[in-house]
């Protein structure tokens, strides 16, 4: 099972690549806070797409104590996404988290949760033949505020063979 935080979905929706998530990882669970973060804002990237996607399911996080503990380091959407991923893992379902922010990635690593980010999805999309090039998508993401250091961008493009 794949659980997602808001920012990867919003970033990919902003450049019309939200379907890449579906194509690469299949059905996605999002916690209620992530759903609200994406759909409650007027005109936010992905609001309509996420609300209408039949491959995205909103799931409640049962362990509110876990969320509260994570709120010391993360925002509500990230905390609920990680708590939901742990909830799924605890139920015996292999789980991966789609996440972007550094603190959330570090928390996933600390908890032993497999994770993938926007860049990982782009590279996987190219390898799977869903993208012919990564560079134009990175450029489009940059125009929408998705930030990568120059050395990271260069490394990504090298890995993509571009």
Q: What is the pLDDT of residue 156?
A: 95
The band of 41, judged by pLDDT with boundaries at 50, 70 and 90, is confident
- Is residue 32 left, alpha or beta, with left meaning phi > 0 and alpha meaning psi from -120 to 50? alpha
Read off the tokens for 44.
Answer: 């936010």
Whether the per-residue pLDDT at 121 is higher than 90: the answer is yes
80, 61 in Cβ contact below 8 A? yes
Q: Is the pLDDT of residue 45 over 90?
A: no
The sheet carrying 56-59 orders its strands as: 56-59, 28-31, 2-4, 96-98, 115-116
Q: How confident is the model at residue 147 (pLDDT cuts 50, 70, 90)?
A: confident
Q: pTM score, two decimals? A: 0.93
pLDDT for the residue numbered 162: 95
Q: What is the pLDDT of residue 20?
A: 95
Strand pairing report for 96-98 and 115-116: parallel
- Mean of the per-residue pLDDT values of the chain: 95
Mean pLDDT of 22-34: 96
Look at residue 108 and tell me whether its pLDDT is greater than 80.
yes
**Cα first-last separation, the chain:** 31
Confidence of residue 44 (pLDDT cuts 50, 70, 90): confident
Q: What is the mean pLDDT of residues 124-135?
A: 96
Does 58 score more than 90 pLDDT? yes
Please state, for a pLDDT cut of 90, what percent of the chain lies above it: 90
pLDDT of res. 159: 95
> Averaged over 36-58, what is the pLDDT?
90
């Amino acid at each position: 099972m794949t659980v997602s935080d808001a920012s990867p979905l919003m970033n990919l929706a902003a450049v019309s690549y939200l379907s890449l998530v579906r194509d690469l990882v299949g059905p996605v669970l999002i916690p209620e806070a992530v759903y609200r973060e994406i759909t409650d804002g007027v005109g936010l990237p992905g609001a309509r797409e996420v609300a209408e996607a039949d491959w995205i399911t909103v799931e409640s996080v049962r362990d509110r104590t876990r969320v509260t503990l994570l709120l010391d380091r993360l925002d509500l959407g990230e905390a609920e996404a990680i708590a939901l991923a742990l909830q799924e893992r605890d139920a015996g379902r292999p789980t991966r988290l789609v996440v972007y922010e550094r603190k959330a990635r570090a928390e996933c690593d600390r908890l032993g949760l497999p994770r993938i980010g926007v860049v990982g999805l782009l590279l996987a999309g190219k390898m799977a033949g869903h993208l012919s090039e990564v560079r134009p998508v990175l450029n489009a993401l940059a125009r929408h505020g998705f930030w990568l250091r120059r050395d990271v961008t260069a490394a990504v493009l090298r890995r993509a063979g571009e």
